Structure 1
């Protein structure tokens, strides 16, 4: 009985999940898997649905609505929760790789940019006046120069750092 139901509903569920997944920002496979679980729960508690195709369409839409509501309510953390705890070797390795990529990109910057960005990233937390004095440039030109250097740095890092994608 269950095998026949799964075989009969499989293509319909695949099509319905593919159609609804984009609207709710979900993966069609995830949506399909969740509806299969709902069907198993329904079979345990109520037996087979009277109109399986209609039940399946309603279940896909209900899961799609639930996913949209969840996505709207969820807010990403500024940092990963694991980053706040004692760093694991994996987190330390990832942080080291990010810092190494940043240092390499800063070294490839043109002109005075490497020294300027290193001064901006300095753990000494230098003021603009101190940075301007150290680099031998006027404090007024520091802002525009910093903007140009950060633009160059952004272009250098773009291929190495994946942009954050909007959810949903």
Structure 2
């Protein structure tokens, strides 16, 4: 209990400093750190340098919250109930352009013929398989397998750039 009294003010100050950047309430951040300390207590003795451990724990919990916020997608509700202002407003347009830029940048870094093939599939002209095969000089029958390999490569490339979420629940 002495540890609680000793670290309480420091934790409050650290949480108040880190919480806004993590997009969370300082009290929630404090609670997450206390839980982390209790879990650590069950595993072994208290940290040798409690103040240093606490600062690191606050920053780690804030990082977790930021990553979670980046991965989470708000639920739009039943079809037709989504807020149209957020979809078609300036923010939605900027997000759409940023996603488009990121995908096109990754496509340009693909090996072999993948960049030109994927660019043809992403074309606003909405080309058919026959038109794409004619433009690229590839047989129409091989477009599917080549496209599949290119998409696999793109998936691996993007997975290396974006950390996959950790396992939860019974998956361990």
Tell me the TM-score normalized by structure 1.
Answer: 0.47
Q: Which has the higher contact order (CA 8 A, sep 6+)?
A: 1
Q: Which has the larger radius of gyration?
A: 1
Tell me the TM-score normalized by structure 2.
Answer: 0.46
